[in-house]
Chain A
Amino acid sequence: MELFNENSKLASVIHKDHSLLPVINRLGIKLGFGDQTIRNICEEKDIDINFFVEIINVFHYEAYFPEKRLLDFSVSMVIEYLIKTHQYYVNYLIPENDRLIELFLLANPEESNENELVRKFYANFKEEFVIHISYEEREMFPYVLELNEAIKNPSFREQFRQKHPGFSISGFEKEHSNMDDKLDDLKNIIIKYLPPNYDQNRGNAFLNNLFMFEKDMKNHSRIEDHILIPKVKQLEKVLLNHE
């Protein structure tokens, strides 16, 4: 295994794994980056080089997850990345999924019963997913950022404690396994159990998007469960020791 590093040319990274395109967008990079290395681009755009390199490696190599090193990044940086990922889902991936599933189902109007079922199942998954991420943005992330602020800034501590008396991230933690299961089920239903008279190309297009979604979502959940949450627990301990 050869990890990407700051001297890698970004263009060759993308040639090697184009599923990284939305990831580098999120990190603040747009197409048309010429032959620049990761270091050049990050310096130019004022992006944290280490964070950039670790994020793309963790995304590309599923087995690579240097927990210790990842725990060194600031919570605000991690949260900013997570929120950008949410925006990508809400503004692009989900609408794209909506469009592709409709194209797929509409091509086969005879199977109205089956179509209705798939539609409903997908709609339910989507609803659960949107509720999940908006909850994180409304409740969990602000709590984490306030906790972080309370540690950096002693004058803010009293206010923080009043707002969150028994402060603990465990009250905010939400499972990811239900959503993972549903997405997996949806894929299996289309791959294994749908009647064969559907339009294959449109089915493939929809499935491609689902696979992309799944890969991205798993990576995202992993960062939340194994980086964000442990980091917050560390911070909570620090604050407790200040009491």
Chain B
Amino acid sequence: MNNGQTKSIVLICKSDVILTGLTEVLKGSLADEIIQLHRGDEIIDYPEMTGNILVIATTEEIEKSGGFIRQILSDTGTIQFLNIYLEANSPHPNSSVNIFDSPALICYKVNEILNSFAVIQPRDTDTELTKREIEVLKLLTKGYSNKEIADQLFVSTHTVISHRKNISEKTGIKSASGMTMYAILKKIIDVSEIDTADLI
């Protein structure tokens, strides 16, 4: 569902108390990782971050360092910003959170955004398999390992893995036996070519 993309939260706030409290609350969210910063520009310490990122900060902080954060994290997936309001009763739009909201509500709003990442992500424009991917798929259905396929095609194992990932993304099929079924139904291979007993 999430195409193996991690979901991280970057919390930015000057107050350690608020950072700690929010982190506790967001432990119940779908985030794989939560990073705490006092200022937006401290993101410079995390250039290797990957996956989808939700930045939670005050409106002023986002205005000030949003651009810089995008620049540093330019290699990652989706980056989204969520405004956080720190005063009780301050009027705030529905698309933001207030630290006086109930923890369940904060978590819910954050999860809604984290969930939406998976929807934005898939590139379903291009679902045709390439020639190379078809070759890899054929070998997969014969039960070869990534290493064996790499040797046969004179490429690295890493390349084979990335072909596999692309095949899964394009077809929506993840398991090895599912791929075999796909290949048969799409007439890429013939049933007689494989030993259905142990593959499917």
Contacts and interface: CB of A to CB of B under 8 A. Distances in A.
Do A and B assemble together? yes
Interface of A: 1, 3, 61-68, 113-114, 116-118, 120-121, 124, 178, 181-182, 184-186, 188-189, 192-195
B185 A189 contact: yes
Interface of B: 1, 24, 27-30, 103-105, 107-108, 111-112, 114-115, 171-175, 177-178, 181-182, 184-186, 191, 196, 200
A195 B186 CA distance: 9
Given A113-B191, A189-B182, A63 B200 contact: no
Contacts of B104: 3, 64, 66
B175 A181 contact: yes
A64 B111 contact: yes
B96 to A, nearest CB: 15
A193 B184 CA distance: 10
A160 to B, nearest CB: 30
A25 to B, nearest CB: 26
B111 A189 contact: no
B132 to A, nearest CB: 21
B108 A63 contact: yes
28 contacts: A1-B108, A62-B111, A63-B111, A63-B115, A64-B111, A65-B28, A65-B107, A66-B107, A68-B27, A68-B28, A113-B184, A114-B185, A116-B196, A117-B184, A117-B196, A118-B181, A121-B181, A121-B200, A124-B200, A182-B175, A182-B177, A184-B172, A184-B174, A185-B174, A188-B171, A189-B182, A193-B186, A195-B185
Contact of B103 (A66, A116, A186, A188): A66
- Most chain B Cβ neighbours within 10 Å, of A64, A116, A120, A193: A193
A178 B105 CA distance: 32
B191 A117 contact: yes
B52 to A, nearest CB: 15
A61 B115 CA distance: 12
Nearest to B25: A68
Contacts of B175: 178, 181-182, 185
A193 B182 contact: yes
Contacts of A121: 177-178, 181, 200
Nearest to A177: B174
Contacts of A113: 184, 191
A62 B105 CA distance: 13
A97 to B, nearest CB: 17
Contacts of A3: 104
Contacts of A181: 174-175, 178
Contacts of A189: 173, 178, 181-182, 185
A8 B107 CA distance: 22
- Most chain A Cβ neighbours within 10 Å, of B28, B186, B191: B28
A66 B177 contact: no
B28 A120 contact: no
Contacts of A193: 181-182, 185-186
A63 B177 contact: no
A61 B108 contact: yes
A67 B28 contact: yes
Nearest to B28: A67
B27 A185 contact: no
Q: Can you list the 4 inter-chain pairs with the closest CB atoms, starting with the nearest?
A: A185-B178, A63-B111, A67-B28, A181-B174
Nearest to B104: A66
Given A1-B105, A66-B28, 19 more contacts: A3-B104, A61-B108, A62-B111, A62-B115, A63-B112, A64-B108, A65-B29, A66-B107, A67-B28, A113-B191, A118-B181, A120-B196, A181-B175, A182-B177, A184-B1, A184-B174, A188-B171, A188-B172, A189-B182
B171 to A, nearest CB: 7
Nearest to A179: B175
Contacts of B105: 1
A61 B107 CA distance: 12
Contact of B181 (A66, A117, A195): A117
